[in-house]
Amino acid sequence: MNDHFQSIEEIAKESISVLYKLTPCPELDFQYTKKEYSGDLTLVLFSLSKKLKKPAEQIGKNIGNYIQSKLDGLIQFSIIEGFLNFIFHDSYYIYLLQKMLNTDFYHLKFPSKKIMIEYSSPNTNKPLHLGHVRNSLIGSSIAKILKMVGHKIIKIQIINDRGIHICKSMIAWIKFGKGETPDSIKMKGDHFVGKYYSLFDKIYREEIRKIDQKNEMTILIEARDLLKKWESGDPITRDIWKKMNKWVYNGFEETYRKLEISFDEIEYESNVYKIGKKIIKKGLEKGIFFQKIDGSIWIDLIQEGFDQKLLLRSDKTSVYMTQDLGTAVERFRKYNIDQLIYIVGKEQDYHFQILFAILKHLGYTWVNKLFHLSYEMVYLPSGRMKSREGNVINADSLILEMYSIARKNFLKKYSKSKEKGEKEKSAEIIGLGALKYYFLKIDPRKKIIFHPEKSIDFKGKTGTYIQYTYSRIRSLERKFFDLCSLLNFCWSNIKFDIYEKNMIKILQRYPLILKKSVFNLNPSLIANYVYEVSKIFNLLYQNKKLIDPSNVIHSNICMNIIHVTGNVLKSGMNLLGIKMLDRM
């Protein structure tokens, strides 16, 4: 038999390529065999029969024979009404378990690419909020997953540190701050600047309410004047801008540190927006863009199903598209990357369609290496978050709340033996793990309704449940070494029961789940998989005596299964950025 481990799912795909010359292979529908039929794994043949335009039974027989030959008779198969059922011999379960005991089982290697992932990318006028948390967790997890399979990853964010929104915070602080600083009032820097952004909005709204009597919106005019001063390089304005941005960056760093989020590179809009302007000037000279009477520059994409898109305003100030054109070109020039993944919310779908279309018009051949991973918004039980309505949850408050819930729901009840410092550390790991799992178990393309209390639970689909399962596994391992010892034994006569078989079956799917999460850029596949592994392990735990000093050989077999389960859980959760506890 080939030393390289291939799952039945992978061999089935290979058989379709070899026997039917069909590449790429379509997605195959594998299921666990229904209880009323004999078998362990089933391939549903109907869609395949339709695609190949051949009878399901003939296809099933050919695939079954190919797999049986490849696995040296370790499996049998039967075909019942369009279902190809695979029956695993005990020797196949032994083969699977032995393969999984080798750590190479987890370490898949793809042909290495240099991949840049852009995520988070906040504005410097307020703290990170719940939406940034989802964005950052998706980006960080995808980076870990792609890195695990051998890709070179560059994690990047671009901070929107210039523009009218920044000047709004600045003018409010200049007018009403009276020289106070984050240190002087003991407030985190990003929250401090956000306070003045909110103050601007409050004053501006009041002015709108009184507009009939006043005829002008003074504070907005002052913010616009400040932006003009900034763009002309006024030193006093620039000094205030640098100082306030520094306060925000310090705040961001603290939040990222709590979330265990990091970046390899950080770009600032103030440094790159001029690059886009040069690209647009060249595009205008080549006739790709056009200029309107007021001097603004546009591109006409109507024939491609879009509309006319503004690229430079009449006063030659830039828009977001200007910046994104510049950064895309500069990143490919500077880093020589093979792929650029933008992790940006669904509301920007149209923006990225336009961006890719413009780059194509400009003749950049690498445009097909760009990908927008669009994710849905985070909602509260009360509905969508809206900063103007004051119902936005900032990331720092959320993290503190998760720690608090972890202390209340977990530490008092389950960690009486722990020292105070260790309890606090456990609370942070459990609280943060619950938060990350809650966000990552849901497909990025689906919206999230976030309930903090529901995320920390030993019984539901939560990170806490998986962490607890893992600590139970490590406890069993310690108990085993207290009562038994590891043996070299003959595997040939080993028999497995249904609980052990189910455990081995789901564990051997881990490489396949990893590959799917890579191809789909979807951490939720791993998140849901590790939950299923935990669930099946707990069924094994409840129904079997796993450590029995009177039956040391059986205890050794169970210990091998337990050990692989713990390794798979730890590996999968680490890819979600979630730490595990050996004791809970």
pLDDT tens readout for residues 89-141: 999 999 999 999 988 887 888 899 999 999 998 989 989 998 899 999 999 99
Residue 192 has pLDDT above 80, yes or no: yes
Q: What angle do CA 424, 427, 433 make, to 5 degrees?
A: 145
Q: Residue 259: name the closest of 127, 355, 164 by CA.
A: 127
Looking at residue 221, its amino acid is I
3-state secondary structure of 157: strand
Half-sphere exposure of 316 (CA within 13 A, CB side): 6
Summarised one tens digit per residue, pLDDT across range 49-89 is 999 999 999 999 999 999 999 998 899 999 998 999 999 99
Q: In whole angstroms, what is the distance from residue 34 CA to residue 580 CA?
A: 34
More reliable by pLDDT, 223 or 450? 223
Name the token pair of 292.
Answer: 């309107």
Rounded distance between C-alpha atoms, residue 22 and residue 28, angstroms: 13
- pLDDT tier at 305, thresholds 50, 70, 90: very high
Q: Which two tokens stand for residue 411?
A: 């530490």
Distance CA 284, CA 298 (A): 9
8, 75 contact by CB (below 8 A)? yes
pLDDT at 413: 59
Nearest to 39 by CA among 105, 102, 107, 89: 89
pLDDT for the residue 253: 96
What six digits make up the tokens of 242?
């640098």
Report how far apart, in Å, the C-alpha atoms of 13 and of each of 10, 46, 458, 518, 577 are: 5, 15, 38, 17, 31
Question: What pLDDT does 102 receive?
Answer: 87
Q: What is the pLDDT of residues 130-180, one digit of tens each?
A: 889 999 999 999 999 999 999 999 999 999 998 888 999 999 999 999 999
Confidence of residue 2 (pLDDT cuts 50, 70, 90): very low
Question: Looking at 505-548, which runs of residues are DSSP E strands?
Answer: none
Chain-centroid distance, C-alpha 315: 40
- H or E element that contains 43: strand 41-44
Q: Using CA atoms, how far apart are residues 551 and 457, in angstroms rounded to an integer?
A: 35
Band the pLDDT of 493: cuts 50, 70, 90. Answer: confident
The DSSP output letter for 189 is H
**pLDDT score of 386 more than 90:** no
Q: Which residues 6+ apart lie within 8 Å of 339 measured at CB?
A: 113, 114, 115, 116, 369, 370, 371
Predicted confidence band of residue 411 (pLDDT cuts 50, 70, 90): low
Q: Give the H/E segment covering residue 76.
A: strand 75-80
pLDDT band, very low/low/confident/very high, at 26 (cuts 50, 70, 90) = confident
Quick: pLDDT tens for 549-580.
888 888 899 999 999 999 999 999 999 999 99
Reply yes or no on whether the pLDDT at 1 is more than 50. Answer: no
Of 270, 344, 353, 329, nearest to 121 by C-alpha is: 344
Mean pLDDT of the region 383-409: 75
Cis peptide bond N-terminal to 523, omega within 30: no
364: tokens are: 């950049």
How many other C-beta atoms can be found within 10 angstroms of the C-beta atom of residue 208?
A: 11
Is residue 420 pLDDT above 70, yes or no? Answer: no
Q: CA nearest 505: which of 539, 471, 546?
A: 539
Other beta carbons within 10 angstroms of residue 149's beta carbon come to 17
Band the pLDDT of 231: cuts 50, 70, 90. Answer: confident
273: three-class secondary structure by DSSP: helix
Residue 216 has pLDDT above 80, yes or no: no
Token readout for 182 is 């984050």
573 and 463 Cβ atoms separated by less than 8 Å: yes
pLDDT at 529 over 60: yes
User: Mean pLDDT over residues 535-558, rounded?
Assistant: 91
Structure tokens at 408: 């209340």
